[in-house]
Every structure is written in C-alpha cells, then in structure tokens.
Amino acid sequence: MFEGEHMAGTTDKQLIIDGKRTDGRTIDEIRPLRIEVGVISSADGSALVEWGGNKVLCGVYGPRECIPKHEASPYGALIKCRYSMSPFASLSEHGRSGPNRRSLEISKVIREVFENLIIAENFPKTQINIFIDVLQADGGTRVASITAASAALASAGIPMRDVVSAIATGKVDGQMVVDLGKDEDNFGQSDMPIALSHRKKDILLLQMDGLLTKEEILKALDMAEKSCEKVHEVQVAAVRKIYESAALSEQKISL
Ligand code: ADP
C-alpha cells in the first residue's frame, strides 16, 4: 500500500451485479488482450501489450557488456529491470510518475521473475536490461509488464527455461475474480497478482493486498492457471508471427 493508493475494500460501490462486473465481464473472463512484438527498432527484443485499458511497452537489450564493470559476474548475466509509469498513465493520478517506492518494488519483483527463467549462466560478465514503460494504467500493470517482458525476451532470442504468463486475481463483492480492472483493484476486498511458468506451473510471483482465506487462495490459483493459459496463447502467437515473417523474408532472399 502506497501513499495516495486506496485501501482494498474501502467502498460501498457494488462491483458485481447479477454475476456481471462493471464492464460486463463474468468473474473468470479476462479483458481483451493484444500483443505485438518487434515494436522498438533499436531494441534486441520488444513487445507492446494492450490489455483492457493498459498499454505497456517493453524493450529488452542484451546480453551486452556489463556496466559498471565491477558489477559483472563470471557466473552469468546480470538481469536488470526498470518498471516505470508515464506521467499521463492514469488521469486521476496525473503527475505521480517517476521512480518511487511502488515502481522500485515492481521493478524488483519483475526482475526476480526473470532471474528464475533466463539461462543467465550462458552469458558470463554481461547484463540483460528489461525496460518497461506503462503508457496507460488500468489495474494489473505489473502482470501486463511480466507478460510483455516474457514476449520481448523471447523475441530477442534470449534462452529461457520456460515462458511466464501473469494475471491478477482477487476478491470483489465476496467473489473471486480474475483480471481486476482499476476500480476492482482499488476498491475490491483483496487483490493477488500471480505469475506462472507455462510448463512447470511454478509460481514466480505471488503478492497479496487485503485478506483471503486458504480456500479463496486455492480457488484464485486455479482460476489463474486457466487464465494464464489464455494469456500464453496470445504471447506465443505474437512471437511466432515475427519468427515466421523473418523466415519468409529469408526465403525470399534465397529465391
Ligand atoms: P497494478 O497496476 O499491478 O495493479 P497497483 O495495485 O499498485 O499495481 O495499482 C493499481 C492501479 O492503480 C494501477 O494499475 C493504476 O491504474 C493505478 N495506479 C497506482 N499507482 C499509480 C501511479 N503512481 N500513477 C498512475 N496510476 C497509478
């Protein structure tokens, strides 16, 4: 909980009416998700994620020389991550951007997700930078960022043990839901972002704001697994598209 943020569960506003949420979704429905990779020409890998009202841009650089040099490790690449929110990301919070406690925390937890996935030992004495800019924020930007970074790293050809997909789960009006929008995140009873690796289903991120029972947490994990499957499909389709177009242009050259 950060300065200016709303405390979970602090509204009387009804967020679920007749099984439908304020934007018409059912409890296990995710918002429209679009991913495009290869959107930054100077980056080694990049992805733009548009997820509901979120717009998140991720650029990946490396493996490249580690600067400052004294940070370099002979055992593997150093993973660096910087998440930041643009000043115009959210109308109501206009101007509250730049590095702050929230963005430092999110950068750290995202870095830890990828430290567990990237085969860093293949690239000693180097660094891999993951830059994430939230252009528009509408609840769930950290899970959108992880989803974007995963696609960007894959498009950069950086070897990973698995692909990660992420989703926010939470409790709204006493019911467990997935992919919380901004109002649900700010005024729901609890929110729990989750990141899962695709093959092994390892939990790479799990945070919680508010309170949930053991049964509710297990239900959220189950719902997250199903939603992450949908997110994964969109990620794979986006990455496949650029590899296919690269293969096509190679074919044209050889003709
Ligand atoms: P997440 O975006 O991962 O859900 P939070 O739970 O911290 O992270 O924030 C919920 C939502 O509140 C954000 O998605 C965003 O819409 C809004 N928000 C929080 N902090 C800021 C900020 N500093 N500037 C703009 N919007 C913010």
DSSP E strands: which ranges in the chain?
16-17, 20-21, 33-37, 45-51, 54-65, 78-85, 126-136, 164-172, 175-178, 190-197, 203-206, 209-210
Tokens 């429209």 found at: 32
Res. 98 pLDDT band, cuts 50 70 90: low
Does position 4 have pLDDT exceeding 50, yes or no?
no
Q: How far does the centroid of ligand 1 lie from the alpha carbon of residue 137, in Å?
A: 6
Tell whether ligand 1 has an atom less than 6 A from the beta carbon of residue 6: no
Burial of 57 (0-12, 13-18, 19+ CB in 10 A): buried
pLDDT tens-digit map of 216-237? 999 999 999 999 999 999 999 9
78-85/126-136 β-pairing: parallel
| Rounded (to 5) percent helix, strand, coil in the chain | 35, 30, 35
Give the closest residue (by CA) to ligand 1 atom 12.
139
Res. 88 pLDDT band, cuts 50 70 90: confident
Does position 84 have pLDDT exceeding 90, yes or no?
yes
Q: Which atom of ligand 1 is nearest to the CA of 145?
A: 3
Three-class DSSP category at 42:
coil
Distances in whole angstroms, Cα of residue 173 to Cα of each of 9, 62, 170, 178, 196: 9, 45, 10, 13, 26
Which residues does residue 171 pair with via DSSP β-bridges, in sequence order?
176, 190
Position 148, amino acid: A
Looking at CATH, the fold of the domain delimited by 23-254 is given as Ribosomal Protein S5; domain 2 (3.30.230)
pTM, full prediction: 0.93
Res. 176 pLDDT band, cuts 50 70 90: very high
Yes or no: say if 210 and 189 are a contact pair by the CB < 8 Å rule: yes
pLDDT tens-digit map of 12-37? 678 999 999 999 999 999 999 999 99
Separation of alpha carbons 88 and 85, rounded Å: 8
Burial of 9 (0-12, 13-18, 19+ CB in 10 A): middle
Which pLDDT does position 93 carry in this prediction?
59
Give the closest residue (by CA) to ligand 1 atom 21.
93
Give the closest residue (by CA) to ligand 1 atom 20.
5
Which pLDDT does position 3 carry in this prediction?
41
